[in-house]
Structures are given as C-alpha cells and as structure tokens.
Structure 1
Amino acid sequence: MGEIVVVYEVDRVAATRISRGEPGEVRPVRRVHAAPTAPGSPTATGPRTLCGKDTFAMERTGRKPSENPGTPWYPEEHASAVCPDCDAVMEI
C-alpha cells in the first residue's frame, strides 16, 4: 500500500453567510476517513477508504499521517467524527 491520506465525508451543501455577509457554502464534516493514494499517482486519492467506502464524493484534506509521526492521523478538531473502522486499521 502507498501513502495514506485523510478525507472528509461531508453533508450536502448548506447555504450560509461568510464573514463579509456574502452567501457562501459550508459542507459540514460527517465522518473522517483514511484512504490510500491512487496507484501510481501520489496526488490522487484511491477509490476506497480503508473501511471500504467510495471516495468519489469525499474531500481530501491534504493531511498525510506519515508526515506527522506521534500525532493522531486525523485532524484533532474532527476527533468526534473519526470513522471507527478506519481508525482500527490505522492503529495496526
């Protein structure tokens, strides 16, 4: 397996206002998953997360767990949304 990246499973777009009062889009994080990169392309996310979900509609975070040894593989601000199945695989 190649590099692992972190991806967000997000809710549908919810219209909201950004800081200047202009309309914007917010996509609340539903679940945080780990996924391998695509074979032969370290900049592309593979087709499935470690728990087997399709990554097509997920957002890549740019976080690579191997770049931050000694810290959780997921962003701390989303610790409550971590996929338990991906987390179990990452602990191995």
Structure 2
Amino acid sequence: MTEIVVYELVKPAATRSASGTPDEVERRVRRVHAAPAAPGSHTAVGPRTLCGKDTFAMETSHWKPSDHPGEPWYPAEYASLVCTDCNAVIET
C-alpha cells in the first residue's frame, strides 16, 4: 500500500501552570486519515487525504501499513478514530 497514515489533530489549547507560564501543549488525535504519497516520493504525504481533506496541518504517523501485513492500515489504538471515508476508499 502506498498510502501514508496521517493524524488530524484537535487544535491544542495551551494551559497555564500555577506560576502563570504555559504548560506543554497536549496534541490529541481527532481523526486518522490515509493519504497517497506525494508524486515521486514514498515517504512524503500528498496534499490531500483519500477523503479529500488538506494534509497541510496534519501530522504524519510513523505507522507504515506495509510493515504490518494482515493488520488494518491504521494503528490499532486509533481504531475508533478512523475516517470512514478514507477506510471505504481503501477497502474498495
């Protein structure tokens, strides 16, 4: 599979510590998408996911479906967050 797994993240909200300085921002995954590789590359993500979303602000996963034959295209811990449109494209 030449698709690359990307994470659509929840926009982080910085929190403040008791001293009033911003704490580390927690990056949470909102949805897991699949995107084709950019033309001429096997590692860079293309501009759009399989469902048509822009990948510019998404984070590329280290999960590579080709490294896990027989398993789903996405990391198991994110099964409940998989984009149903991307999944439908992959399964057809």
> Which category of TM-score, normalised to the shorter sequence, fits these structures?
0.7 to 0.9
Q: Hey, what's the Cα distance between the residues in 2 that align with 1:68 and 1:33?
A: 17
Q: Which residue identity does 1:14 align to in structure 2?
A: A
Unaligned 5+ segments in structure 2 are 17-21
Unaligned 5+ segments in structure 1 are none
Runs of 4+ in 1 over 4 A off after TM superposition: none
The 1:74/1:16 distance shift into structure 2, 3 A limit, reads: farther
Does residue 90 of structure 2 align to residue 84 of structure 1? no
* Deviation of the 1:29 alpha carbon: 0.7
Higher strand share: 1
Identity %: 64
Matches within 5 A, 1:19-34: 23-34=23-34
Please report the TM-score for the alignment, with normalisation by the length of structure 1.
0.84
Count of residues paired in the alignment: 87
Q: Which residue pairs with 1:12 in the alignment? A: 11
RMSD: 1.8
SS of 1:38's equivalent? coil
Q: Which residue pairs with 1:71 in the alignment? A: 71
Please report the TM-score for the alignment, with normalisation by the length of structure 2.
0.84
Larger Rg: 2
Q: Which residue pairs with 2:37 in the alignment? A: 37
